[in-house]
Each structure stands twice: as structure tokens, then as C-alpha cells.
Structure 1
Amino acid sequence: MLKLKKVYIENFKGISSTRIINFNSSDLSILNGPNGFGKTTVFDAIELCLSGKLERTMQFSNVQKNTQNYRKPFYQNTAGKNVVLKLLFEDSDNGSLHTIIKFLDKDHNGKIGNSKSFRPDAWGILDTYYSTDDSLFESELNTSVTEKISQLQIDKLFFDDQSYSQANLYPLFNYLQQEENIYFLKKDEEEKKAELDFLFQTQEEAKELERLTKICRELKSIQDGLSEKISLLGESANSGETQVYLRLIPSKELVYDVEQPFKDISSDNLPEVYNAYQKELLILEEFIAAFDPEEYQLDKLREAVVYAIDNDQILTAFLLQSLNQGKSFEVLQELSAKISLYNNHIESLQHNQFEVDVLKQLNFSQEFIDSYRASIADSATQERNIGEIGRIISDLNQARNSTLSKSRELPAEFHDADNCPLCNTSFSSFETLEVAVHAKTQALLSFNREQLINFETSKQDITTNFRLPVEERITAFLNAEENHLDKDFYTLLLEYRGFTDRIRRFQAILTQGKLNFDEFIITKPVSINIFRELLEKLKAALMGALAKIVPDQNKLIHKEIFKDVFVEDVNSLISLAEVKNKQLYVEYKYNEARLYSLNILAERLVKFKELEVKTSRIKSSLSLSIKRYKMEMIEKIKIPFYLYSGKILQNYQQGLGIFIDMQENTSRIKFLTDDESDHDIIHHLSSGQLAVVSIAFCLALNKVYETANHFKFLAIDDPVQTLDDINIHSFIELMRHDFSDYQIIMSTHEDDIASYLSYKFQKFHFNCNTIKVQRIFYGE
């Protein structure tokens, strides 16, 4: 059997350094010391290591809102230091040792997922370790060499049945808290039932019962759905007189105009689809009854005219259609090209350039063209010569003047004063030499001027005899009335080359409506301003015609059908009788589909009802079995609980003990003072008496269930605090007689009570150990 030998506490609650409590495997250990000096701390350390949480903290979780971050856990004494708790157990059957460790790393951020830091209920931040080496128990924890385990593995150490857990059983079986030892009695009837369900080990049966209940609900829901569908489809009826299928509109695929219009329609959608079909047929019927093709054409004409009035593109294309067709456009295109060519040619003539083809187009003779070309060539030659001779003369004059100037600067002894420095010709004097040089310079300049005059004369002859006649003929062509072509108008013409089909449709509508606006069609180029005037006149004419186009709208109900369904083909129109026949056919097919669906749904409804009856029968049987089993289990608890509560209470004036009552229908649990009362004891007993009942209930559970045969352990925090002397005596007698095989740890703040407890248990040969908590924790 497992017995607790030692408890190791480091940086936990009021304990800052390392402290070890040694129970020495005693049968009874009494934690003695003043309140506030660590007795409950020991119990908390044991509970936290075994169950992974403190039940007291979980009960008070609603006291504080967990909407903020906390600096450190409430149980960590000093921030920045590890929290370490250890329990050392010895198995007396085989001598094995087991150490359970809870560890909080000093560097942990205190968060679980996205939660706030160090919430009071954040037990998941603690790591759990396990060791079988007791030599390391009092040493500092080395997590790198210690096995990390889960709460499930701790449960396996204490329970053979893996459905048990310390988290659920420890607060109920093993630990009675100070002040809060009546927490189970405070729970409502449903909560008591739920907690005892765990003891009864009916969880799997309860899950199966819940599953069957859910199945019954689903089966009922399915039946309701089927009934609703049947109701929507209406009462079962014959499909009526047989109707023959005839295609109503061969040119158009319509969903209702097929042999099986409800083929792929679910029963849920049958009424909706049928109503949609009949609505479409009703609209078609209204259309056929009222429709007049002539009024439709008139309405179409009106729409076209209105559209054209509001759309300058259509009207512009209409006005330009003649010029944009065939040879008319080609002539204009050729004229535009010729105008552009001639304008460019005038510019070329300024630079003595011309094209022979252009001159031929202007009807100049070949002789004229040849003379023109020869004159330009002669002029070009003169221009080149003038440039060359002028440069030579200029260079000669500059060289002569430079030589004379330098000659003057030389001393007399270096030249013959009467000889020319250029040709050494002898002159009578130097002055005579200078006069001769000047005369030669003037002669050269005179020759250059004569050449320039001849060149200018040549240029003038070209202008007068050739260029001007060509320009005059070009100008005459451009100024001719038949050759006028407004640039903006021609650009507009090019822009509307691609509107042929739209114009053809518009023209066809006008022709069908006997409207003629051909007088506005432009047959020869005009200025852009005249075009704009014509556009406005055409609009005005259309407005006038529009006033006279008044179709009868009563004959155009649902007129869009003629286009969408009958493709505006009068010959495709059908009769009212044909529409009526189609309505009858659709109704016939609907009733046929409805009847089929009703039969299917009715069959399903019967099957689901049968299935629900069978499932309900199984559910009721299972529920009854669970209730009977629970009643049997409660019956097992009733007698020990009644005896234990009676023994401890002793002088309770309303009876000898407390009854447990379970309601057969609901399995709810109540504690009653006697069989005549149906009020829970929470309304009758004092807090001290309730504490006695809680102790008695815990002892009864241990006696009846023995969930862990190899771990018989009771931890009771200050049990005598709310008991009077008689209750204390009775409690001690009960404990030492009926629970002599349990390891018991109690606490008290009174020295005489500790001595009394030790005395009473030692008389029955209990191995007792009184632990002075204040001295161990604080050295006082």
C-alpha cells in the first residue's frame, strides 16, 4: 500500500526557502501550530501534486475577473525563483519509492495559449515530473535528467481503473478542507448527481444514453421535417386526366416545355418550381391574348427614334452614309491625298524641288518640265561657282594685303623698295606699287559682283518662268469649289466608317415605319459647321415624327417575350389554346410528381416512426437500468453514512443520523434529516453540524467504494475547529475503529487537541507523529 513519507516545499505560498515535512510513514500525523503558519500550505502542496489543481481556487474562480495580466502566480512566494513541490511515496507491498514533482520555471511567462499571464486557475503552467530515486528527493531539481509525465500517469500510479482520476476523487475521498469541507453539500441536486455519477462509474452508460437521446431527437426532427414536406405538397390526389406532351415553342428551349418538367426537382422544391412554371405560362398567356405585331413594330420604331435622337453617333453615321460608301469615299480619299500632296509640293518648290508626276498631273508639257529641270541645274552650278570664286578672290586679297603689310615692316636693306614683293616686278616707286595692287584687288572684286548678279537673274527667271506658273495651277486646283474638303469634316468621315450595320438596321426600321429622312443625307463634302446644322435639323425632324408615333401599350403587355421567346418572328406565335394545353400538361405532370413524392415521403415517415419507437424503447430501458444501478449504489452508502453521521453528531435533536435520498425519476441527490422531511439538510443544520455530515459522507464513501485499495489516505484540515467535545470524541472513536488501515493527516491549532488526538490514537497502538509546523517552517 502506498504511504506518504515526505513533502518537499520550495518557494510556495508562505515558504520562501526549502522545507521538508517528514511523516515517517506514521498512521496518524498531526500538523500542529498557530493559524497562518503553514498547516494548510502542506495540504495544498499534497493536493496540487496529486490532482494538479487546488479545488478551493477553482470554487472561487468567479471572485476575480481574469481579464488582466498578473505579475506572478498567487502561490509563488518570491518572483524570479522556481516553485518546486515534491511528494515521496513508499509502496509497503514491494518497497518501491515514487516521487511526484510539480515545477514552475522562474522564467515562465504565465500564459497558456493567448490567455492572460498567471491567471489563478492556470494550473497548466506547472510541469509534472516523476522519479523513483529517493536519493534525489532533497536535492535541487534537475529537469534535464528527470522524467516528465502527465496527470494521467499519476492517476495510473494510484488507480487500477483508468476511468478514475485524482482531480475528481481527491476532493471527495481524500481531503476535507478547512472551512470549505462542506463544499459538496452546498452543490445543488444536479451538481451532486453529476459528481456522484463519476463514483457510480456510469459515464459510458450515460454517454450512450445521451447518444440515444440525441438520436431520438434527430429522428423526431426528421419526422417533423417529413410531415412538413407532406403538408407543403398537400393531400394525396390522382394526377388527373392524362395529358399528351406537345412542344409549345420549337425554336426556344424552355424549362417547362419539356416532356418531364419535374424530372430532377426534389420534393422540397416541387411546389415552388410548379408555381414558377405556372407564373411563366400565365405571363405568356397574357402576352398572347394582348399582342399585336403592328403595334410592336410601331413601338420598336418609336424606341429606335428615341434612341437615335439621344445618340449623336447614329445620326452622324446616318448623315455620312452616302460619302462613306464605295466610290464616293474613294473619290474623297483620293482628293484628300491630292490636296495633301499639292500643299506639300508648294513647300518643296521654294527649295527648287519638284516631282515630275505632280507637274504632269497639272498638265505641264515635257518641254516645260525639261526646261525647268535645266534652269534649276544651271542655277545650282552658278551658285556653286560663285561660292568657289568668291572664296579664292577673298583668299588672294587677304594674302596680298598681308604680304604688303609685312613688307612695309621690313627694314629697307632687306628689300628692293621699287620691286613688288609678290612677283618682283619693278615699279617707279612704292606708292606706285600700292596703287597697282589696289587696282588689281578692285578688278577681282568687280568680277565676283558680276557673277552674283548673273546668279540672282537666273533665280528670278526660275521663279517667274517655272515656279509661279506651277503654284498658280496648284492654287487654282485647291481653290476650285469641287475640290473644297474641310479637314475636320473629313476626319469625322473617317471616324464613322465602321457604322454600316447599325445604319442598315436603323434605316430598315425607318423604312418599315414609312419614315424617310434621305433628304438630310450628305452627298458631297461640306464644312464642319454646315454638318452640325444638318445634324440639328435631322434631330428636329425626328422629334416631329416621334410625336406622331404612339403605339397602344395595352397590346404590348410583356412585349419582351416576342423578342426573347419568339425571336421577333410573327409566324412563330402560338394560340391561347396551345398555352392552355401546356398549363394543363404542367399541372398534370406536377400532380404526378407530387403523388410520387408523397408516397415516398409517407413511406419514409412510417420507417422513421418505427425507428424512433425502437430507439426510445432501448433508451428507456438503458435509463431505467442506470437509475436502478444508482439506487443500488446509494443504498450501499445510506447505512454507513447514516451510522457515521449519527455517531459523530450524537446529540442531534431531530434524529440519530442523516438520510440520503435519490429521486427515482431524475437521480437527483438530497440529504434529509428524517424520512418525513423533503428539504435538504443545508436548510436545517448549523455550519458545525454540516461539517460533521461532510466528514461522515467522506468516510462513508471511502468505506463503501475503496476506489484505490493500495492508497488509503485521509487528509483533514482542522476537523475539530467546528466540532464540540462530544463530536470530537465520537469522531476519534470512529476513525480509530473503522479506519485503522488508513494513513491519516490532521491539523489543529490547539496544542491540547493535538495531545488529545495523539493520546487517543496511541492507546489503540497507532503510530502517531506530531509535527510542529511553525518550528519547521520558521524556526520558532
Structure 2
Amino acid sequence: MFIQKIILDNFRIFRGRHEFDFSYKKVVVVEGPNGHGKSTIFDAINWVISGKISRYVGSSEHQQFNYIINSDAYSLGLDEASVEIYFNNQEEVVIKRTVKANGSTKLFINGHRFGIRDGQKEIVRLLVNEKVINDTNLFDSIDLPSFIESTLILSQENLEEFVRGNKPTQRYSKLEQILGLTRYGQDFKDYLQVLKKECLTQYDDILLKEKNIKHEQELLNVQYKQKSLQNERNGNKPESKIIDELNTFFSSSMESFEQLNKNEEFFEITINEYEVLKKYIEEIDDKLKRLVDLKFEIQQKEININDIEFNKKIANLHNEISILQIEKVKREGGIEKANSIKEKLNKIAQTNAYLDIKKIEKEKIDIDIKNLIEKLKVISKNLEIDYASLVLKKITDFIEEFRENSTLLDSLLEKSLILENENREFNLIKEKRIIREQNDKNIQLIKDLEKGIEDTENDIFNLTKQKKTNLDSQIYALIHEVQIHLINSNEQKCLVCGGSYNNSEELKNSIRIQLDNSNELLNGFEKKINKYKVSKNELNIKLDVAKQESMVTQEKLNNLNNELVNLKDKTVNMRLQNSISLEDPQLIRKEIVKAQKYKNNNQNKYKGFIEINKILVELNNLKFKRKGIYEEEENAINQHRSYKDFVRKENKLQLKFNKIDSYLSLAHLKVQEYNKKTYEFRQHIQDMEREIQLLNKIKNELENSLNYKLNLDSKEILNVIIENISLFEKRKFEARNLLVTIGDYLNDIELRELQIKIKSFNQKNLILQKQIHQYLTMDNQLKNLLAYHTQEQSSLVNEYLNGLSLTINNYFRQISPHSYFNYINLVTRKNELFVLLKDNQFENDDIEENIDDSVNASLTLSAAQSTILAMSIFLALNKSQNWSKLNLIGIDDPFQNLDDINAYSFIDVMANLISLENRQILISTHDSDFAKLSIRKMNLNPNEYAYVKIQSYTRDAIEIQLEQYKSLEDKRMSF
């Protein structure tokens, strides 16, 4: 990514708007005297990207004074400055930053306004490589101002500061910023120191708390011993005796309900022990209540069960139920048979209803037949035919004959129309041939007329050409014009021949003679031309008439063609569908007359026969339908052969229904009686089984509690329940006495409070001991971590610097070939960075160990050598950095302390970077010779470099020499 364009608007020394176009420039050299704005161009790049100017960041004055807005413009009321830079990437990137005098800043990226924070993130995203963006830790650690001044733009102030001005610790911190390691370096160490200090403060607080707690514990122990001795003198049991009684009570076993026993051992008397014993008594109460409930269930519900006797009773009841089920099945069989007969009788009833409906249908058909016969008589009478002699076949034959005659008549008429169309087609073809011949004559006439007009135009053209080219005629024409002029004047001398006349009248008479001669010659050509023009007009008129007639004729031809096509298609289709073979029109007309006569004579008879045919067909259908009804009735009756006596006999059928319903009613009552008795027996069985189930449940519950087997005998089970009730009541009495003793002990509030306080202090002391151990362990870990971090950070930085040193040495030896110490190494130790010198190459393993015996660059090198070394480090960092897409090297006036050899060598280095490293180089200098030498020695095409020469700077204007530079006067200012 290169810089394409820089636009400065009232930015620092540049008053007004200034545009520098560096498109496709590999090298930009800015020349000008000191104080003329060379460094401002570098400041603009720095400020638009990072929002800061690095060389002012360490000063507090930049926050109090205006230093970005041009002072002259500011004094005239303008309170805004801006910088806009165009970068070329795969797509053009434009960043613009504006600032007002009140400090408010706006940031625009590709024309869109961003908030400062979000805008800075977007700038980083656009300028930083994808590898860094995808690494969250690297992306968050980017310090743009530090990266820019250390790897992209080297200012005058930073040239020697890194080598000579900075202390080793500052130099190391600066390197951490350059490498993006600040968050892992000094920031992390500061965090560890703060953490260690906080841990130490908390540790001291814990030790003080421990001392206070121990003192209060000693006082409480003395009070507790005194109070315990006083209670023993008053007859109260001591805690130890109560604990023994409590453990003895719970260690004693019961023969029943062992789940109530407590296996735990007690070591002190607290409210917890009181609650345990109280809960134990509550459990005994629950068990007693349950035993009483079981006793009540057996006695109250009069459960008197012996397993053997109950099983015999249940077996007898099941036998009675089986007998009832057999009787019930018999009765249900009779009901099923009766229902089957009833269903068959229902079908007979349905058949009787069906036969009644069919009877009505037959009566209706007979009426319809009678009406049709009457209608047939009327039609036959009108036709003078005996209806009794009518035969359906004769009628259908006549109808078919009449229809065939009608079809024949239609075909004959159609064939007559076909012949007429064909005759019409023949006449049209003949007419078409005549019109076409006439049209061909018109076309030939048009061609002849067009040829005559063309010949006439040629004749007119030739005559006109002869008239123009004939010298005599031209002369006569000229003389004619002159003589006309002389006639109209009072001249006595001829302007044509030069002759003199006595007076103007003699001249005019002579001219008139010459005019007659001239007119005669001119009129000969004009008459011929006019004659041809008249002939041409006549030919044009004839041509227009001929074309008009041709258009009319052509239109007639088109219409005839369309009519012929339609008529021919119609005739062909009609012939394909027509079956008449006759082709003689006269024969066809005779046949048409014959067929038409037959149709006229038999039209009424045809209509009457059609109506008679319909009536006869309808009569046949009705007779067939009546016959079908008879067959359906016979089939319906035959379905009930076994019950044929009930068909069409409603009274007899109803008596049979009544008899079956009476039987079914009695049978259903019997089935209900069987069901009722069966239900009663089953209820009795269920009651007995329920008593057995209840007693069995009681038995199982007691067996689980007592852990021994019982018989299913209500008397035996009741005795066991009564015995266990007595045992539980005795256990409950003992527990209550012990509970009273514990209650008396716990009611001594003063002693209890002392115990609680002692226990609380013991807990606090235990927690404090754990915290003390944790803080001691943490302090030791922080010390080890700090030492390890310093060692590892230094080792990692040295590893990076070892690789960087080779590049630094190459640049340093190339730029300063006559230096005595021409081997440089950057070495870190304990958060310090040293620049060491040697006259031969360092051995990597010995560098850190021999720091104290090495030559220090900051104390040894001259100003020029320090400048060269600073540039070498800067170039090496620029070459090795992989954080930025911006391939830029900017160096602000690096040659103030360099001799010619250094300068020439530096130019060679720059040329190498351009060709091999694909860098865009921006250099400023106050030395005109060096500026020109840089351009020549880099051997670039004119379109690959830009030479910016700032010639003068005054309050009124700044004069800059550059083809791609534009200065736009700010209309807001008045100078």
C-alpha cells in the first residue's frame, strides 16, 4: 500500500488548501529551507492515521496551545484544519481527519463519518495485515503512534534519541512498544507489583486479626471454666455426664422398630443434640400413633380372619356364581334366537311396505299408458292412419328414408355451390391474367418514361454545359451585361471595344445592334433548354399517372390473389366432405328439384311419425318398467319362503311381533336377576378379600418393623401390636426425662453464649490460618513469576534482536563504511536495552554475559554515527515489521550530520529498498544538491518519483514547485 495523494487544509505551516499528488511515485523528495514545512508533511501522515503527532505527545503544552490549525488562518477567524490522504490498495482507501479550535475532531473513512474510537479501529483494520487482525491479542496491543514513529516515519527528534538520549530502561520500554509487547512486558510487571502490594497489605491485616482473636479466646476460656464449676455445685449435671447418658440411651437396642436407633456418637451438648432427641421422641410418637391406628382398624372394623376358613367361604361363593352364569347363558341364547326371528319379521315388514310402494308405481304406469294411447289415436287421426295398424319398423324405415333424402338434398346443394365456386375461380384467374398484362404494360411504360426523363435531363445538362463552356457565348453574355449598363447611362465611349462615338445615342444604337446579335445567340440555347424542360415536365406528369395506375392495378391483383386463395381452400374442403359424384350442373339441378319435391310432400308425415315414434318408444319403456316391477315383487316375496304366510298379512305379522316381545321382556328380567345375584356374591367375595388384603398389609408392615414372620391371623397380629405399644411408651418416657435434663443444661444462657463465642472464635481462627497459608504461598508464587517473566521476556526480545542485528549491521556498515566499530548488537538484561559495539562480529552466546566489558554505543559514537545507527535500526525495524500493509519509509532530514560518503551510501540503501523491498520512500532535506543527487542516483523514470521544492514561505503565500501540486486559495480568508 502506497500513499497516492495528500491534501492539507490550513494544517500547521500550510495556510489554505494544498494538494500533493504522489500517485505511482516510488520516491518523494521534499527539499526546502528549515522552517518551511518539510516536517509538517510527515506530521500530517502521522496525525491522519493515529490522531497524534508523535514528537509532541510527551509535552503538556500541546494541550494548552493551538499547534495544528495554521496560526495566520486562526488569527483571521478560521477555526478548522484538516488532512486527507488517499492510499492505494486493492481498492482506494481515503482517510480524512478534521479538528476545530475547541478540540473537537471528526474522522472520515471512504466518505463515511466514524466516531474517534470506532474510526481508529477501522484505520487499524485497513492498514494492519490480516494475520495481526485475526490475532486478538496482537490486534488489541497495537499502539499506532509508537509503531508509526518506530517503523514507518523517523523524525528529526527521534534520530539520535534512541541511541544517545534514552536510558537503557526507556530504550527497552520503547522496544516493547515497537514490538507490541507492552501488555506482556511493563504492563504485566506493573500489574504483578500492584498485586504483590495488595497481597502484603491483606496479609498484615490477617496477622492483626489473628492476634486479637487469640487474646479474646483466652478470656472466654477462663469465664467458661468458672461457670462450669458453679453449675456442678448447684446440682446440675455436667456436660460430660449428660453426653454419656445420651450415648448410652441411643446405644441400647429395642426388639422392634430398629430404624429408630441412632448409631451416631455425641461429643457435646448443643441445641442440635436437643433437637435430635426431640425429633426422636416425635418419631416414637409417630410409631405409637401408627400402632394405635392399626389396632383400631382391626378392632373397629371387626376383622376376625382365619386364613383357612375365609378361603373355603370364597370358594363356595365362586361355585354359586358359576351356576348363575350357566343359567344366564341359556337365557341369553333364547334372547338371541328371538331377536333373530324378530329381525326376519322386520325384513318382511319392510318387504310389505316395499310391495305397497310398487303397487302405487304400477297404477301410475297404467295411467301413463292409457294417456299415451289416447294421444296416439289423436295423431293417427290427423295423419289419416289407423293407429292399430302402426308398426314401429315401418315408422323407423320412413323416418330413415326421409332423413336420407334430406341429407342428399344438402349434398346436392353443396355440390352446386362447389361448381359455382369453381366457375368463379376460373373467371377470377382469367381476370387476374388480364390485369397482370395491363400491369406489366404500365411497368414497362414507367420504365420508358423514366428513361425518357433521364435522356431529357442529360440533354439539358449537355446544353447547359455547352452554354457555359462556349467562350463566345460567355463573351456575348458579358457584353450583353455591359451594354445593358451603357444603355442605361450617358457614356460616349464603349467599355468593351474602346471605340468613341459622337454622342451617347450613337453608342446606344451600336449597342442595340450588338444586343440583338447577342440575344440571338443566347436565345438559341435557351429555346432548346426550355423545349427539353417542357418535354421533361410532360414526361413527369405521364410518369405520375402511370405509377398511380400501377398502384391501383397492383392492389386489384393483391385482392384477386387473396380471394382466389380463400375460394380455392374453401372449395377443396367442401369437395373432400361431399359425396356427390355428378359434375353436370343441369343434372344436379334436376336431382335437387326431385329431392326438394319429396321433402315438401312428406314434411308433415315426417313430423307426425317422429311424434308417433316417441310415443311408441315411451309405451314400450313403460310396459318394460311394469314388467320389471312384477319381477321385483316376485323376487321380494321369494326371499321369505319360510315366512311366506306373513307376506302382505299385517295383522298376522303384528300378532307374531307381540308374542316375541313378550318372551324377550321376560327373558331380560331373568338375566337381570342372575346379574344381580352374581353382583351380590362378588361383592361379598370382594369384602372378604378386602379384609384379607387389609390384614395382610398390617401383617407385612409389622413383619418389616419386627423383622420376623407372622401368621395371617387377626388375633395373633393384634397381640403383637399391643405388646409393641407398651414397649414404645416405655422408650418415650426415658427419652422425655433425658430431654428435660438437656433442656435444663441448655437453659443456662450465659454458659451457652460462652460456648457459642468460643466455637465462633475457633472457626475464625481456623479460617485465618488457612488465609495466612494462602497468602504466604501466593507471595512466593508472585516472586517466582516476576523473576521468571523478566528472564523469559528478556530472552524472547534478545532472540528477536539477534535476528535483527544482522540487518542493522548490514545497513550500518553500508552507510558508514569508514566506522571503526562496525558491528552492532542490541542486548537486553533485566528490563534494560543496551546498544553495544565491537570491531568484529559478536558470538551470540557471549553477548549477554559480557555486557559490562563491551563498548557502549550511546557513550562512544559521534553525532553522525549515532544518526546512522538510528537510521539503521529504523530501516531494520521497517524491513522486519509485518504489522502494516503500508509499505512506507519516511525519514525527516536525515543528512544534517552526514558527510558525502555517508549520504551517497544512504542513497544506495534507499535505491536497494525501492527495487527489492517494494517500498515507497519519503525523504526531506534542506540540501538542494543532495535532493537532486538522490533523484539522479536512484535511476528512476520521471513518473516514478516526485521532487517537491518548497522555495519560499511568507505570511502571504507559500511557493511550492511540483507538477502534481495544487494550491487552492481559501475563499474564507481575506489577505
TM-score w.r.t. structure 2 length? 0.38
TM-score w.r.t. structure 1 length? 0.47
Please say which structure displays the higher CA radius of gyration. Answer: 2
* Larger relative helix fraction: 2
The structure whose RCO (Cα within 8 Å, separation 6+) is larger is 2
